[in-house]
Each structure stands twice: as C-alpha cells, then as structure tokens.
Structure 1
Amino acid sequence: MSGQVALSLQNRNPDVLSCIANLSNDEVFTPPGFANQMLDIVAEAWADAHHGASIWADSSLRFLDPFTKSGVFLREITSRLNEGLRDELPDLQERVDHILTKQVFGVGITQLTSLIARRSLYCSKRASSTHSIVKSFTDADGNILFEHVEHTWVGATDFLETADADGNPVTKGTNGRCKYCGASQKALDRGNELETHAYAFIHTDDIKARIAELFGDDMQFDVIIGNPPYQLDDGGHNNSATPIYQLFVENAVALNPKFVVMVTPSRWFAGGRGLDKYRERMLKDRHMRNIVDYPKLYDGFPGVKIRGGISYFLWDRDYDGPCAIQTMWDGKPLGEPVSRRLDQFDVFVRWNEAVPILEKVLARAEPVLAARVSSQKPFGLRTFFHGSATPAGIKDPVKLYGSQRVSWIDRSEVVQNLQWVDQWKVLMSRVQGTSAAVERIFLGKPIVSGPTEACTETYLVAGLFKTETEAKRYAIYLRTRFVRFLVSLRKGTQDAPRGVYGFVPDVPLDREWTDSELYERYDLTAEEVAFIESKVALHTDE
C-alpha cells in the first residue's frame, strides 16, 4: 500500500475546501457538506431503483463534473467509491487507479480551477507527476481537462479594419454577442492573455460531439453532477446580469445520463431574465425526481449573497412522476417532503404549505391584478429622468414621482400614455427588497396619485381609477398581507414587475378590504392564516 495514497484519502480537519474563497458570485465553490447532501440524494435514488444496492459499489459507473472548480464533487465521489469498492478491488493502489482513471472525470471552467481540482483529486496539479496518487496517468491533465475556448461573436454592427496573425487585412466586428452564451464582445473579446469565460460545455452546437472530443467516442456518463457558473461575468451584476446556468443543465440532460444533479440559483422558479423557456421545460419534465430548496439567503452557501436562494435538483432518466419538494431552513429540513406536479402552475411555488392556499384562491376563477398593472416605463420616462424642483415657470406642469424624489415636468414631456395623466392612479415601486436573509415585506407602500401626476420607470402604474375613493381602497388592498403573500409566490428577487401580481385576485372595490375579510372570502383555515402571517410582516408604518 502506498503511504501517499493512504494519506490522501484520510479525513481532513479542517477541510481546506470548506475554507477556500469564492472567485465571484457567478463562480461559487460548493462547501463539502453541501456536495455530500447532493451525493446522498443520488445514492438514495440509485438504491430505490436497484433493490437497495449501493451506487458506490459499482465499478462500471462513470461520473462527470463538467464545470469543476474546487474539485469537491469529484473528491467526495472518489472517497465514497474507495470505500464501496473495497471488496471488489482490495488493493488500495489498484482501487484508486481504477476509480480515478476509469470512473471520475471533470472539465475545468478555467485554467486555475482545473489546477485546483487536480490538486484536490490527485494531490498534485499534474496528474502524472511523482506526487500524484494515481500511477496510471501518462499526461498531466489526467481526467480533469481544460480547453481554452473562444466565444463565437455574431450580430455586430460596428467594425474595424485590422489584421490576422499572418498580417492579412480583415474586417472585425466589435460589438457582437456570443451565439452560445450571449456574452458581450466589448467586455470579453480580449485575447488569450485573459480569461474569456467561454465555457467548453456550453460553447458547442453538439454536446455529444464535444464530449467525444474531450473524452473519446465511447464515453457515456451515468451521473453528471456539479455547480455550474451562474451568470455572465461581463460587467453585469445582480439582477441585470444574464443567467447561463440553464445552458449547462440543458446540455447535461442532452447527454442522457442516468442522473443529473445540480445546484443553481432558485430564480428560475418564478422569474429571472431569459429563463421563461427554461422554466417551462423544467416544470413539464416528469423526470424531475427531487428539488431541495434553500429560500433563506446565505443558508446553503454561507457568505454568498444569491437573492432568491439556491436549490438543487435530481433529474432521473428512468423516473416518470411527481417531484418531491423539500424545503430547508437553517440547514435543516422544514417539514416532510411533498410530492407534487411541477406544472400545476405556470411558475414553481416553492412553499408546499402555499399550494392549498393558492388552490382556494384560484378556484374562484377571478381576474388577476396582472391585467391592471402597467408594463415597465408606464409614461416612457427612464429612472434617471428628473424634472424641475418646483412647477414654477412650467406652462402645463405635471407632478413626477421619480427615483428618491418628486419633481415637475411639462405635460409635453410625457412620452406615452398621456391619457393616464389626468386619471386617479396607484403607483407601486418596481423594486422592493432588503439585504435581510429573509424578505417579509415583498411590496413597497402604494402611492395614490391624482390627476396631473405621472412617474418614471421607478414605479409601475398598478391601477387606473375614476375616483379617489376607488384608488384609496385599491391601495389599502395592496397593503394587505394576503396580497403580498400571493405576490411573494411569484417574486424571487427584489424585482417586482407586472408578472408578480399574476396570482392576486382583482376583488371588487366596494369596501376597504382587511386581511380578516380576505381570509374569510377564500375560506382559509387557521393553519393557513398562520402560515401567511409567518411569511409576511405588516408594513413598518402600520
């Protein structure tokens, strides 16, 4: 037995991979404990389908992390296989060589992470070095590959005259977008000396052909697992950055393994820029066996701020049925998992307890407030637009609600929906949220806006009314816990566009609605009321 091999497979205290700093919010290192939870759910699914057998005792299976960073998934898989294959391969060196050359594979997302992953897995950044615990590799990469890939720029409208490597004149676009991931050419067309973030696993028209190029024509993976890059690192940030994790998920499923298990932001449940088609596909996919959801900020990945929380899922090629939903809170299961159809609603309702409440509300088949609420830029005025501090000297003044202040403009400056200016309106902030780990407000305070008033895109026009009385009643309705709870089911981040009102019934404005009246109207039980009020706080000025 090699002492080097034995040392490498001992428990680490503390585990260096639990201490390593993240590269950025879009390239997040997975804590070892979290990675093991994901592996546990794979093992349970395998045992269910194989009469209790252990997946870690099968020497024929192949595992792939196609976007490895720290190598934590590959390391923990190796550790489990090392234990599971003791009987079949009793010699430790033979067993380690078999596992690491025949069963465990990875694709680094950058040159740096490929070196980190090899160090985690082989105990050496070069798989073939004398320090490596594997004795069968003849090349430095081993089974953790990294390939420098360039973006494929399309759609440019600006061009410059330059020369190729041989000095021949060429015309080159400068403001295109990558056809695969949508990256900005201006930000990421920067040569070989800097990282391009053109990930090999998604920059291809044929993922099966790409895998064959990397690992050989006969390579078929049984388990694809990992934590993909979340968004484009091209200057965007927070909600404005373009998500790309869905591209990794789709290509992993296209490889048709037995299992796909990945951790991603949970924004896809109900919103997210460019995620509508992905959400629709995921909700209709009856191979989705499990979703484990961490709604609380920082809960799954301590210190990493991912608004809307994170979750991981298990896709099972041979499964066809409802999906088991488990909510986690402070690192522990919150109640028992509940199996339900993902496509029951047009968005995924993350709280199991919310489903029967929503079913009661929707059973009345009433119109919803999304039909009342305006789209972005209701008057065609951008957030940064401001008028004069006073109406003095303005021929036909209109009061303008804008970002952090009220100003005055001339009626002629209203770009669109001029007819709304002289109606009673209720305005709602387009963005509402805090940095708290748990959001409990979900909507800002409604503003009752009278005739000769308008707003920038900081606000949406949530409703138009003939009278002040109707507008005030509507504003009171929007402040109820009942309304804000229904909004929360479609609101995963600070952004509150028209769509978040898609579950809120458009009730008659014949009274000033209270929560008690609304609970009674929809026949909610005491337990359901308690759940709503545990999730939604009163407004701070109430």
Structure 2
Amino acid sequence: MSNGLLNKQYNPDVLSCLSNLSNDEVFTPPEIANAMLDLLPAEIWQDSTATFLDPASKSGVFLREIAQRLDKGLTHEIPNKQERLNHIFKKQLFAISITELTGLISRRSVYCSKTANSKYSLCNDFSDDRGNIRYERIEHCWSPGNNRCVYCGANESGYERDDSLENHAYEFIHTDSPERIFNMKFDVIIGNPPYQLSDGGAGASAIPLYHKFVEQAKKMNPRYLSMIIPSRWFAGGKGLDQFRNEMLNDDRIEFLIDFVDAKECFPGVSLGGGVCYFLWNRDYRGDCVVTNVLRGKKDSLIRPLNSHDIFIRNNQSLKIVEKIKKKNKDNIVNIISSRNPFGFSSSDRGRSVKKIGDITLHSSKGKGYVSIDQVNKGEDLINEYKVMFSKVTSEHAGEPDKSGKFRVLSTAKVLPPMHVCTDSYLIAGPFSSNEIANNFLKYLSTKFARFLLLQAVTSINLSKDKFLFVPRLDFNKEWGDDDLYEIFGLSSDDIEHVELIMKEWR
C-alpha cells in the first residue's frame, strides 16, 4: 500500500488479512482493487465531479483506494487538505454495505472511524454516523407461487429470519429502481459482489448472485462498470445462460482479466473455474482486450468475446481450437450421453448379490447388481460396449495442481454389454466392439483431447456440450498425441502450450 491519507505505512494491511477469509462473500485484496482501478482512465482522478459507488461493500477497500487517488489528483483544484477530503468523502464516494458489520468495517477503513461523524473521521462535514456508506436491512419479497424471493431466488424456508439473523437480502438487487437508493447517478460503479446463495437443494447446492449485481448496475447506465466475479459465467448454466449471452455479445466490455486459478487473486480461497474482473465502458464499442493470468504470467489479445458458442478463456488455446476446427468441424458431442444415462441416482448401489438376469451397476462405491427392468433410460446402450467416465472433473474446485496442470478426466473405463452406471458418470458410445471402445478411451485420455475438453470447462462438472471442441475421428484405429499434433498441424509453440498445462494420463 502506498502512502495513505494518514501518511502512514501499514504492515500488514488489515484488508489484505481480511481478503484471506474463505467465504462466498470474498474480501478483495488491495492490490486487486488497485488493478481494477488502473483500468479506469487516468484523468478521472482529477475530476472533482466524478462519483463512485460500491454496491456491495465489505471492507471498504475500493472507496479507500479511490479516495487516495482523488486526494492526490485534486490537490491543485482543492489545495486545502481538509476541504479536499470533505469534498471527496461527501460528494464523490458512496457505498452500500452487505451487512451491518461490513458497514462498520467499511467506515473504519474509509473514514478511519467506525462512525462517519466522529472527531476521528477524516471528513468533518458529515451530520450522521453512516456518512455515505449505508446499510439498510431489506426483506425478501416472497413469491406466493414458489416461496422464493422474486429478486434473488432465495428460498423462504431458509431465509425467512428474525432481525437477529442475517437474511442476505442485499439492498442493491432487491429493488426495481436502484438509482433511488442515493437519488443520483454514478460515473463509476465498482465492487466485488456476493457470489452465491444456498438454494435449499441437496448438499451445497447454490444459486449464483453476482450476475444480478452486474445487471442491476447496467440499469443505472454509469460511464464505467467494473466488478470481480467468478468465471463460471463463461459457460453459462444454472441461471447464467442469459447473463452469459448478454456479456459475450456486449461490445462495451473493453477489458477482461481472467485468473484460471482463483488463488492467484484471492489467496486461500477456492473458486471452481477461477475468477475474473472486467471494465464495461458505456461509450466504447469494439473488441475486448482479454488478459489471461496463470502462474504470474500475463498474456493479452484483442478479440471479440462471442467468436464461439462457449467462451474460450485462454488466448493461445483459442488459436489452437480455431486451427483444429479448420481441419475438422465434426465433434464427439453426439456420442456423449446426457446426464444420468441410465436413470440411476448417484446414491444407488444395487444389490450386493447377483440374481439370475441381473446386470452390473457401477457406482462411486464400486459394483452392484440390478434388474434390467430397473433401467428407465439408455436402454439402447445396455447391450453395447461403451466408455464410462466420471461426471466430476479430476481437479479440486476446478483448479490446477501445484504445478498449474490439469488432468480434467477422473475415472474412465470401458463397460462391456450388460453393464450400466449411476448418475455419477457420463457415457460415450455405443461402440461395436471392445477394441473400438478402447481406442476411443485412449483417444479421450490423450493430452490433445483433454486439452480441448478443458477449453469448455469452467466448473467441476462435465456435460455433453463440453465436448464440442473435441474432434470426431475414425476410432477403428488407435490415436496418440504425436499423431494428433501432426494431423492437425500444431506448431511447436502450440504443442508446448498443451504440454505445459496438461498432466500425463495414468
């Protein structure tokens, strides 16, 4: 942290410490907040009329860093230090905290006092203790049809709580008119919104929230919008399809910085699929500067975001995919099953003792036996050879290993006729012989095929649509990486890129 408003050096920065908390509501490290602010035009720090809003303040880091930039930039226009600080804090900086506690934290880090109007506050012109960092407890608006909040989708049974408990009804997205919260327009909306909310489903099932903050901010039509959010939206799914389509086709997104490993952005925090931040510029129209960050290295490319149905996040990977598609436009999607290929849930185990006429059921706990009559899907695959592979990727939370490499596929093996599996797996096939099925399995286990699969994966789950970049070949023959690199014309740089990020198959 550079010299601050108090002209002191903090070591360690308390906001860096807070950023290490593992939570769905992740605190932003100061260096990331500053990287996001660096995307804004330099002249904005000398504009005494520019207004800034953090709609989901947790630590106050964005306003704090903005204040320091404005304090320096407005020195000549407002020479008196106290008058300058009063103007910045009262006229330019605004925030909505996500809880009462984060409101206190934000005021402490921005005003250097937990109350904005105390004698210790950097601004001596506030008449109330909140200043411009507000928190209002908002109630969910339950739909009588499905008992869910019409604004965020929260389940009434899980989030209808008394005033002593946090109900996660965030003010910014629980209104049809966000501009009325402060009754003003903003030049810059910037922040790190809450990422998800438990939806009352099985296990850790959750619905995304971050896209609602982005959509709400766009309604206010600021000059600039910047938010840091999970990268899962790249591939859509679970409430994100419309948001994904809008983002990829929005040519006002001027910059997109993507971290494959979220720990490079939020140390100690696991976010499947990584994390990204962007700058949306109301007055810009054109291609986007996409920057990949992996193991500290950055690679940037100016390109449209909508060149493919699924956003390919890595710039060099995009070039490889396009090179392969020119050689072979066919893919293996049509031979990959949909979810739950035989109608058995992930918890099904079958019988431990085989009865006459039973077939073999493969589950995450091993083999069991079921009657063929229990199969209610995929009947055409029962008597065929097929390849079974885990629906969940090999990587924990969708992140690479310590060396930065991916395996992608976990369990994978050939299933003979009269063998089926639970919803823990997907199926490829059918194949007319064991030899052809094994050839397909060997192909799928190549770095080449797994690399192309990886380009469509932004979470821990696989589905048939994730295979759209994997070309379909003649599986009567066996394929290896060297063969595939040669027939698709990959350069030495292409091969090095694939080998750099893909694990060996063992």
* 2-structure distance, mates of 1:478, 1:363: 20
Structure 1 range deviating more: 26-35 or 127-136: 127-136
The gaps in structure 1 that reach 5 residues or longer are: 1-5, 48-53, 158-175
* 2-structure distance, mates of 1:532, 1:486: 9
- 3-state SS of paired residue (2:386): strand
Counterpart among 203, 221, 242 of residue 256 in structure 1: 221
Shift of 1:266: 1.1
Q: Check conservation: 1:433, 1:493, Cα contact below 8 A.
A: no
Counterpart among 249, 263, 283 of residue 248 in structure 2: 283
* 1-structure distance, mates of 2:423, 2:7: 57
With over 3 angstroms needed to count, the CA separation of the structure-2 counterparts of 1:79 and 1:238, relative to structure 1, is farther
* 2-structure distance, mates of 1:389, 1:135: 75
Q: Check conservation: 2:349, 2:365, Cα contact below 8 A.
A: no
Structure 1 range deviating more: 225-234 or 358-367: 358-367
Check if 1:82 corresponds to 2:49: no
Check if 1:211 corresponds to 2:179: yes
TM-score (normalised: structure 1)? 0.88
**1:374-389 equivalence runs, <5 A:** 374-389=337-352
Q: Check conservation: 2:395, 2:408, Cα contact below 8 A.
A: no
Counterpart among 144, 148, 164 of residue 193 in structure 1: 164
With over 3 angstroms needed to count, the CA separation of the structure-2 counterparts of 1:526 and 1:22, relative to structure 1, is closer
Q: Check conservation: 2:199, 2:205, Cα contact below 8 A.
A: no
Counterpart among 318, 334, 343 of residue 298 in structure 2: 334
The gaps in structure 2 that reach 5 residues or longer are: none
Check if 1:527 corresponds to 2:493: yes
Equivalent position amino acid for 2:28 in 1: T
Q: Check conservation: 2:357, 2:371, Cα contact below 8 A.
A: yes
Shift of 1:10: 3.4
Counterpart among 393, 410, 422 of residue 383 in structure 2: 422
Deviations 1:313-349 (A, max 9, x none): 111111111111111233x3423x1100100011221
**1:90-489 equivalence runs, <5 A:** 90-156=79-145, 176-204=147-175, 206=176, 209-212=177-180, 214-216=181-183, 219-233=184-198, 240-330=205-295, 332-335=296-299, 337-391=300-354, 394-435=355-396, 436-437=401-402, 438-489=404-455
* 1-structure distance, mates of 2:294, 2:371: 52
Deviations 1:25-79 (A, max 9, x none): 211110111111111111xxx24xxxxxx22111010000000000000000001
Shift of 1:414: 1.3
Moved over 4 A (4+): 21-24, 233-239
Q: Check conservation: 1:378, 1:416, Cα contact below 8 A.
A: yes
Per the alignment, residue 17 of structure 2 pairs with 19
* 2-structure distance, mates of 1:415, 1:154: 35
* 1-structure distance, mates of 2:7, 2:165: 35
* 1-structure distance, mates of 2:471, 2:23: 37
With over 3 angstroms needed to count, the CA separation of the structure-2 counterparts of 1:78 and 1:236, relative to structure 1, is farther
Structure 1 range deviating more: 14-23 or 123-132: 14-23
Identity %: 42
* 1-structure distance, mates of 2:386, 2:244: 33
Equivalent position amino acid for 2:162 in 1: G
- 3-state SS of paired residue (1:113): helix
- 3-state SS of paired residue (2:208): coil
Shift of 1:418: 2.1
- 3-state SS of paired residue (2:329): coil
Structure 1 range deviating more: 268-277 or 104-113: 268-277
* 2-structure distance, mates of 1:446, 1:136: 66
* 1-structure distance, mates of 2:22, 2:127: 34
With over 3 angstroms needed to count, the CA separation of the structure-2 counterparts of 1:155 and 1:333, relative to structure 1, is farther
- 3-state SS of paired residue (1:334): strand
Q: Check conservation: 1:379, 1:414, Cα contact below 8 A.
A: yes
* 1-structure distance, mates of 2:70, 2:464: 50
TM-score (normalised: structure 2)? 0.94
Equivalent position amino acid for 1:202 in 2: I
With over 3 angstroms needed to count, the CA separation of the structure-2 counterparts of 1:231 and 1:137, relative to structure 1, is same
| Number of matched pairs | 499
Structure 1 range deviating more: 263-272 or 368-377: 263-272
Q: Check conservation: 1:271, 1:490, Cα contact below 8 A.
A: no
